[in-house]
Structure 1
């Protein structure tokens, strides 16, 4: 393991956050091209992935899956609804809750979307094992950062 001198800690190329940011932007560029044929943006694609996997969901649950608040999610859902891919309906059980449902067109789009993960994997140049390992490490990183953020939050314990 290489140790970085303290003087180098503030170099941009030493920041894990910047490496993740740069990778995220690069992914965004590839997804923009790959998703163009589906008529989806990357955030819309994520919404569709959750609905294809989970089925009908309340907006709140959908937001939890995507780590998005309703203020960010609502415009995405409006655009997907305008495109005819989803419907938003008040829950019969709870008037305060809005359910998101795939339309027939939204369900059918899944067949065309099957090629997206393959195209993204090819773009990375990584094998399936490398992608799995990277995803596991990023999941561990996310969990560790979530835990650290809880400890640092005012009134939540920590220093």
Structure 2
């Protein structure tokens, strides 16, 4: 693995990454949080042109992924799946509804609960979106084993820091 490190003059150079950063290091390149942040920004930027073609933002795409997997879901369950608060979801859902991709309906069994359902247009968008994961996977350049390991480690980090 090659990591970018700063030289004494502050310029960045590629050199083999150390097996472990020194404990308590305050070097930027030793921070896992920065590696996660940089990777997240880079991946999200790679999604942007693909999602622009679909008329979706990245958070809207995540909502649609859940709905394509499960056509009827409560707002609460969607928030749980995406690890988002309803205050963050509400504007997203309003825009998706205004764009004709989903509809919100009060549940008959519990009028306090709102169910989300795909519209015909929302269901049809799934076919066009099918190329997005393939393009992102190609851009990442990971083997299937590396992809599975990366997801496993990121899920473990998420679990560990939220408990």
**Residue 140 of structure 1, CA deviation:** 1.3
Tell me, yes or no, if structure 1 residue 87 matches structure 2 residue 103: yes
RMSD (Å), alpha carbons: 1.3
Q: Which runs of 5+ in 1 are unaligned?
A: 148-159
Distance 1:42 1:114 in 2: 15
Q: What is the match of residue 22 of structure 1? A: 38
**Residue 111 of structure 1, CA deviation:** 0.6
1:64-79 matched pairs, under 5 angstroms: 64-79=80-95
Distance 1:60 1:112 in 2: 27
Q: Which is worse superposed, 89-98 or 69-78?
A: 89-98
**Does structure 2 conserve the Cα–Cα contact (< 8 Å) formed by 1:38 and 1:109?**
yes
For 2:26, which of 5, 10, 13 is the aligned residue?
10
**Residue 5 of structure 1, CA deviation:** 3.3
3 and 46 in structure 1: CA distance in 2 versus 1, 3 angstrom threshold: closer
After TM superposition, the score normalised by the length of structure 2 is 0.85
Q: Which is worse superposed, 131-140 or 101-110?
A: 131-140
Q: What is the match of residue 142 of structure 1? A: 158
Which consecutive aligned stretches of 4+ in structure 1 deviate over 4 angstroms post-superposition? none
Describe the SS at the equivalent of 2:117.
Answer: strand
Q: What is the match of residue 157 of structure 1? A: none
Q: How many residues align?
A: 146
**Residue 2 of structure 1, CA deviation:** 3.1
Tell me, yes or no, if structure 1 residue 56 matches structure 2 residue 100: no
After TM superposition, the score normalised by the length of structure 1 is 0.87
Q: Which runs of 5+ in 2 are unaligned?
A: 1-17
